[in-house]
Amino acid sequence: MSILVIADHDNGSLKPVTLNVLAAATAIGGDIDVLVAGEGCGAAAEAASKAAGVAKVLVADNAAYGHQLAENLSLLVADLGKGYSHVLTSAGTTGKDFLPRVAALLDVAQISDIIKVESADTFVRPIYAGNAIATVQSSDAIKVITVRGTAFDPVAAEGGSAAVEAIDNVQDAGISTFVGQEMAESDRPELTAAEIVISGGRGMQNGDNFAMLEKVADKLGAAMGASRAAVDAGFVPNDMQVGQTGKIVAPNLYIAVGISGAIQHLAGMSGSKVIVAINKDEEAPIFQVADYGLVADLFDAVPELEAAL
Amino acid sequence: MKVLVAVKRVIDYNVKVRVKADNSDVDLTNIKMAMNPFCEIAVEEAVRLKEKGIASEIVVVSIGPKVAQEQIRTALALGADRGILVETDEQVQSLQAAKILKAIVDEEQPQLVILGKQSIDSDNNQTGQMLAALAGMGQGTFASEVVVEGDKVNVTREVDGGLMTVGLNLPAVVTTDLRLNEPRYASLPNIMKAKKKPLDTKSPADYGVELSASLTTLKVEEPAKRSAGIKVADVAELVDKLKNEAKVI
C-alpha cells in the first residue's frame, strides 16, 4: 500500500488538519508521501517533513498552483496519483473542490468525508446530514478519499525527518484564473481546530449582540461559530457557519446560544464532547443533544457567564 | 446562451430519516420527497440569468426514477424551458451521474452548467467537479455570486476563511452554495403552463453509461445516540458542572 496525502497549507504554513489526515493515512497503513503544491510553499513542505509517519514530501512549487485552482491541481494530483493505492486530503473547501476532479480523471469513485477507516478498502462516512452512518467498500484500484479532520486525532507535528523532493511537474489547464479573495480577519483559534466553540443563532437578534459572545470566547480561548439563521440574517460572516453546509466541528466544549438545533446545524456539531445549550425555549431541539441545558434569556445568561469565568 | 441545470429528487430536508431494521439503507417508503435545496438554487440562478437576457434557453435534467418527473416539472414551473429525464430505478453514484451529464453536455452544448454543491441525502459534493473534469471545463464550486461577462464567468466562492473569486472561460460548471440566491415559488398559472413544456425521457444506456459502480454500501446504521443531558438551574451551576464534572474549562 502506498498513500499520497495532499497537504492543506497557505504556502507559509502547514494547516493543522493535515496532521489529522495523516492519522487517517496511518490507519490505512503503508508508505505515506505528502504532496505540497503551491507557490513559495517551502515552509509548509518543511513542516510536513517533520510530521510523524511521513516517508517523503513532494514539493510542486509553481505559480500554477499558487491559489490551488482545482483545474491545475487536479491534473497534477491525477498524474502523481496513478502510482499510489490511496489519495487522501482533508474535506475542507480546497479538498472538496479539487479531489472529485482527480477521481473523475482517474475514472474512479470518490469517498467523501470519511470518519473511520475499517480496512484499506472499507470506510465509514455520515450521510443524510449525519442522521445515518454508512460503511462503504471500494473496489477501485486507487481509493480517492476526503477525510473529516475532526474524526481523527492528529499525528505528532514534530519528530519525523522525511526527505523533501522538489518535483518539476507543471500543469496549467489554462481555463481558470484567480481573481481575488476576501478573508475574514480573526485572532481567535480556527473554528474547525478549536478546543472550545461558542456559537450564536437567530436568538442573538443582531450582529452587535455577538460582542457578548466574543467576551466569553476571549475568556475561554474559544472560537466563534454561528447557525445558518445568524449568517443569513447578516449578523456574522458565512465562514462562521457550523452545520451540514458550513463547517463540521468536534471541540471538547460546544456552547450553543440562541440556537434552536435544526437537523442541519446538529450535523455540524453533534460530534462535540460536551454540548451546552442556552435557550429560553425549553422545547428547543438543541436540548435533546445538550449535556447541560440552561433555560434562560441569553441576554441575562451570557453576561452572567462572562462574569463567572 | 444555453444553460443546463441538473436537479435531484431527494428526501425533503425537514424529514428526520430512519434507518431500516436490516441496516441495508435508510427507509424511504412513504417519505415526502422534494427537489434538493441546492438544486432549487441552481434553477433560480439560471432563471435569473434568463431574466437578465444572458441565458436564452434553460434545459433541466434529472437522473432517477419515473417520479423524478415531478422535480423536472417543478423546475419548468420556475422558468426552465424543457426537461430531460434519464430514467433509472438503480441508485446512481456521482461518477456515473457525471458521465451521463457529460454525454448530455456533448449533445446540448450549453455554455454554463449549474448544479447544487451537494445533495442532502448522500452528502457527496462531487458531481459538478467530476462533470467539469470529464468535460474539460473550469469549475466555480460553492458559488455565492455568478457574473457572466462575454465569454468569461467570474464566480465568487465560499471557502474556509472567507470568499475567493475565480475567473473561468466559458463553457464552465458552477455549483451553488446556499447564499447564491433565494429561490422563488412557482405560481399556479406557471405550474399549469409547465405541464405543456417538453420533457424527454431517456435511459442511461442511451448515453452509453453503465451504472455498475465500484462503491458498495455494506451497512447503514443509526449514529451513536448522545446520552440524555441535564438541565441546570442557573449560570453558577453551569460553570460549576463544566469545571468540576465535565472538566472542559
pLDDT tens track for B106-142 = 999 999 999 999 999 999 999 999 999 999 999 999 9
User: How many Å lie between the alpha carbon of A295 and the closest alpha carbon of chain B?
Assistant: 8
Label residue A279 by pLDDT band (50, 70, 90).
very high
B126 interaction partners in chain A (CB closer than 8 Å): 100, 103, 110, 112
Q: What is the pLDDT of residue A184?
A: 82
**Spatial distance between the Cα atoms of B20 and B15, rounded to a whole number of angstroms:** 15
DSSP letter, residue A192: G
pLDDT above 70 as % of chain B: 100
Amino acid at B161: G
The predicted pLDDT at position B212 comes to: 86
Q: With contacts defined as CB-CB under 8 Å, which chain B residues touch A268? A: none
As given in the structure block, the three cell numbers for residue A172 are 496549467
CA A137/CA B50 separation, integer angstroms: 43
Mean pLDDT of chain B: 96
User: Looking at beta carbons, which residues of chain A come within 8 Å of B27?
Assistant: none
Measured between beta carbons, the chain A residues lying within 8 angstroms of B17 are: 128, 131-132
Give the three-class secondary structure for B21: coil
Using one digit for the tens of pLDDT, what is the confidence trace for A228-274? 999 999 999 988 999 988 899 999 999 999 999 999 999 999 989 99
Q: Report how far residue A16's alpha carbon sits from residue A223's, in angstroms, rounded to the nearest whole number.
A: 15
Span A8-24, pLDDT tens digits: 999 899 999 999 999 99
* Interface check B121 vs A, CB under 8 A: yes
Residues from chain B that touch A127, judged by Cβ atoms under 8 A, are 26, 121-123, 220
Pairwise CB contact (< 8 Å): A177 & B167: yes
What pTM does this model have? 0.94
* Average pLDDT value for chain A: 96
The predicted-structure confidence for B231-240, as pLDDT tens digits, reads as follows 999 999 999 9
pLDDT digits (tens, 9 = 90+) for A204-238: 999 999 999 999 999 999 999 999 999 999 999 98
B226 touches chain A (CB under 8 A): yes
A131-143 average pLDDT score: 97
* CA A37 to centroid of chain Cα atoms: 18
Q: How many CB atoms lie within 10 A of CB A168?
A: 7
Nearest Cα residue in chain B from A176? B168
Interface contact A276-B242, CB threshold 8 A: yes
Query: Residues A73-130: pLDDT tens digits?
Result: 999 999 999 999 999 999 999 999 999 999 999 999 999 999 999 999 999 999 998 9
Residue B226 pLDDT grade (very low, low, confident, very high; cuts 50, 70, 90): confident
A·B CB contacts under 8 A: 256
ipTM: 0.95
| d(CA A74, nearest CA chain B) in Å | 9
